[in-house]
Structure 1
Amino acid sequence: MSGSGTAVPGLLALTGQVTARYGGASRYARNFVRGKLLTDPATPAILRLAREARGFGVVADLGCGRGQVGLALLTAGLAQAVHGLDLDPGKIADARRASTGLPADFAVADLGRAAVPECDTALIFDVLLQMPEAAQRGLIARMAAAARRRIVIRAFDPDCGWRAGLGRTMEEAGRRLRRDGSAFRPLPLAELAAPLRVAGFRTSVTPCWGWTPLPNVMLLAEREPT
């Protein structure tokens, strides 16, 4: 995995298969799903990681949005089942329609207090930094208790030099435009990783900014073999 966002073979065809499942959603939603799968550096990173792991097993996708990452994993044969949670009812409705016939379920949930489904792999992208620090720590603890094999976090590295400075500026501008009251509290990576190591995971961090100027990284936590 690298910061270059190198393409995964077959990504275009996989994106077409997944996007076709959103035929009942709005044009905006369909374009969003297609764009995220094709251009977000997290997509090739997570698919590559899942292939290296020979599949993610049962996946809990926290802050799943419209569910496109989980459905891509299922369609590619890289997950056995997906449980998705997100606060937005409209996005969850899109995910439920798109997942018809697949071993997936999606529910509206506040990650600040929701239980994390038992799983082999827990995924969370770009959500923690929008939560108060205490809520982040609580969610990390619940993820560590629920995930049997690994946790994958796409995180904002607040110590990543000029990328962090630019990312903060962009995030603050976005918050002013959205006026959604979301927090912006990116914890240092060491603070995200520490409770995972205490819970028995080994951790590693790799860049995941691809073509963007953002300080996004993948924090991978894997349980030590028993």
Structure 2
Amino acid sequence: MSALLQQTLALYAKLPPAERFHVHARASSAPLLAVAARAPSGTVADIGCGHGLMSALLALADPRRTVHGVDPDPRKVAWARQALSGLSNVRLAEGTVEETLAKEAAGAFDAAVVCDVLYLLPEAKWPAFLRTVHGLLKPGGRFLLKEVEGDGSWKHRKALAQEWVMVSLLGRTQASGGMALKPRGEMTRLLADAGFSVSEVADLGRGYTTPHVLYVAEAKRP
């Protein structure tokens, strides 16, 4: 385990066992360090921050960053605030990105990070969501979108089953009618339609039982 990840997980030591387990499981099952490594300095939006794990990684990796995490789950935001209270460069808000950052800080961010969020939304809302993220960014700002690839593999099917358990059976994750996984060709098209220029599509699934894929894109300049 990297020193950065150890330092980050230590922030959650005083949370209840169930919350600590959730955070550690997330840290071990997703390539969050690879995502954080591609984030620039400056002001970064962490959309769908949950317990704040990515926000903490970004803040600790580069103290020059200011990280704004937002999530619609009040329970997770409360735990994140408790765990990350010692990080002066993290701001956390409860609500959707449309209700919070899009109203308060449009065009103000150097980067936006969305990890395993899009598939929880109804597909019909994806284009508007991506345009909202685009509106947060400065011209040329970076968008890091980490999703599970819909490639038809056993990893794809396993990921869907796992999320059904987390959303429908255990209620650990909030969803609003989504649970769709798309191939990378369709995702790059959606990003282009929302005004992004995709510079990298990184396969991050090696060593994991989930087909992780990261889309690195920039907001096109007017």
Match of 2:142 in 1: 150
Q: C-alpha distance in 1, partners of 2:216/2:95?
A: 24
CA 1:162/1:112 → structure 2, altered by over 3 Å: closer, same or farther? Answer: farther
Q: Which residue of 1 aligns with 2:78?
A: 93
Instruction: State the TM-score, normalizing by the size of structure 1.
Output: 0.78
Q: Which residue of 1 aligns with 2:180?
A: 185
Q: Which residue of 2 aligns with 1:28?
A: 18
* Matched residue, 2:88: 102
Q: 1:57 aligns with which of 23, 29, 42?
A: 42
Q: Deviations over 1:29-86 (max 9, x none)?
A: 234334433x133223123324xxxx34211001101111111121121651011111
1:120 maps to 2:110: yes
Change (3 A) 1:80 1:140: same
Alignment check: 8 A CA contact 1:81 1:103 kept = yes
Aligned length: 211
Does the residue aligned with 1:64 lie in a helix, a strand or coil? coil
Is there any run of 5+ residues in structure 1 with no aligned partner, and where?
A: 1-6
Aligned pair in 2 of structure 1 residues 115, 195: CA closer, same or farther (>3 Å)? farther
Q: Identity rate of aligned residues, in percent? A: 25
1:139-170 CA-partner distances (Å, limit 9, x unpaired): 10111121232111111222354433443344
Q: Compared with structure 1, are the counterparts of its residues 78 and 191 closer, same or farther at alpha carbon in structure 2 (3 Å cutoff)? A: farther
Further displaced range: 157-166 or 215-224: 157-166
Looking at structure 2, the residues matched to 166 and 27 of structure 1 have their Cα atoms a distance apart, in angstroms, of 25
Aligned residue number for residue 3 of structure 1: none
Task: Tell me if 1:137 matches 2:132.
Answer: no
Structure-2 separation of matches of 1:20 and 1:181: 28
What is the DSSP-based 3-state SS (H/G/I as helix, E as strand, rest coil) of the residue aligned with 1:49?
coil
Alpha carbons 1:113, 1:139 under 8 Å: kept: no
Say if 2:48 is the partner of 1:48.
no
Aligned residue among 199, 217, 220 for 2:216: 220
How far 1:25 sits from its partner (Å)? Answer: 2.2
On the 8 A contact 2:46/2:70 being kept in 1, the answer is: yes
User: Can you give the 5+ residue segments of structure 2 that lack an aligned partner in the other structure?
Assistant: none
- Counterpart amino acid of residue 191 in structure 1: E
Question: For residues 194 and 108 of structure 1, what CA distance do their matches in structure 2 show?
Answer: 30
